[in-house]
Amino acid sequence: MVQKKLDVFLVGSCVSRDLQDLWAHRFYRRAYVARQSIISATTPAYVFEGEHQLESAWQHRMVQGDLASSLLRRFAEDAARTDLVIWDLIDERMGVQPLGDGCYGTITPDSLRSGILEAFAEVGDPVSFGAPEHLELWADALVRFVTLLDALGLRSRTFVLRPQWASRDADGELLEPEGGRSAEQWTEAYAPYVELIEAAGLPVLSLPDSLVLGHQAHRWGVAPYHYVDEAYTTWAREIEDRVEALGGKRPQHPVPPEPVAGGEVGRHTDDARPA
């Protein structure tokens, strides 16, 4: 008897997407929301109507989705057809930009290249990842995020990939530091966020140190979080085993979408300053 694929909702960066790609014979990509901090996702949406400088339509959609706080809405829409959630935290690493009126945008290489965030420089300074203010915002966002997962029956089926930054590749060569921090410093910076996730009861999956290795031939290039293939397949096998222990595929049932991020929707155009 042929096993049906598990429907996966991916949240985060290329780490979760690469895992699903390598395990596509068992994991079907139901939805994928990238480049969106949970701070942005769980605070009011902001509609930006100006120009951007991105050539990639996909990158533009992700930046616009971030400003629109689209993640929780997508969850409400796709929950009934989702068997598990895979969440990685790599896209949290650059912090968030205040947009005004309680709105935030995720700082990513894409959002910086787009030029969109430049319009909000006068609203407030960026909130850096690891700063006390960022951790406080993130802790509040996590409560809202987990509350939604509970309501949708997905809390026990959400698997977080522990951020473990590689310092070397599979040949033992040192990798270039990123963002002015060593691999050890990045792992340390993520520690309080991981502690909050564990305290919230979400399973956090770790790699053995022997697999925390960069991949020189990775399709997206060399980076401390572009791992060797065995790292992804190790995570995938553990996730599949845990889901099977929970009963495998979930029964399909309708879940009506509901508003999930309160507050007024901000609006900004090129010829108007943000509030």
At 65-123, the pLDDT tens digits run: 999 999 989 998 999 999 999 999 999 999 999 999 999 999 998 898 888 888 888 89
H or E segment to which residue 203 belongs: none
Q: What is the pLDDT of residues 186-245, one digit of tens each?
A: 999 999 999 999 999 999 999 999 999 999 888 888 889 999 999 999 999 999 999 999
4 compared with 231, residue with greater pLDDT = 231
Specify the pLDDT at position 27: 97
pTM: 0.89
Residues 71, 41 contacting (CB under 8 angstroms): yes
pLDDT band at 134 (very low <50, low <70, confident <90, very high): very high
**Per-residue pLDDT at 2:** 53
For the chain, give the mean pLDDT: 88
- Res 222: pLDDT: 84
Question: At 262, is the pLDDT very low, low, confident or very high (cuts 50, 70, 90)?
Answer: very low
Q: Are the C-beta atoms of 189 and 145 separated by less than 8 Å?
A: no
> Closest by alpha carbon to 148, among 71, 81, 206?
71
* The pLDDT of residue 50: 64
Per DSSP, the residues of 100-161 read ETTEEEE--HHHHHHSGGGGGTTT---B-TTSHHHHHHHHHHHHHHHHHHHHTT-GGGEEEE
Dist. CA 130–CA 2, nearest whole Å: 46
In this prediction, what percent of the chain has a pLDDT beyond 90?
71
Percentage above 70 pLDDT, the chain: 89
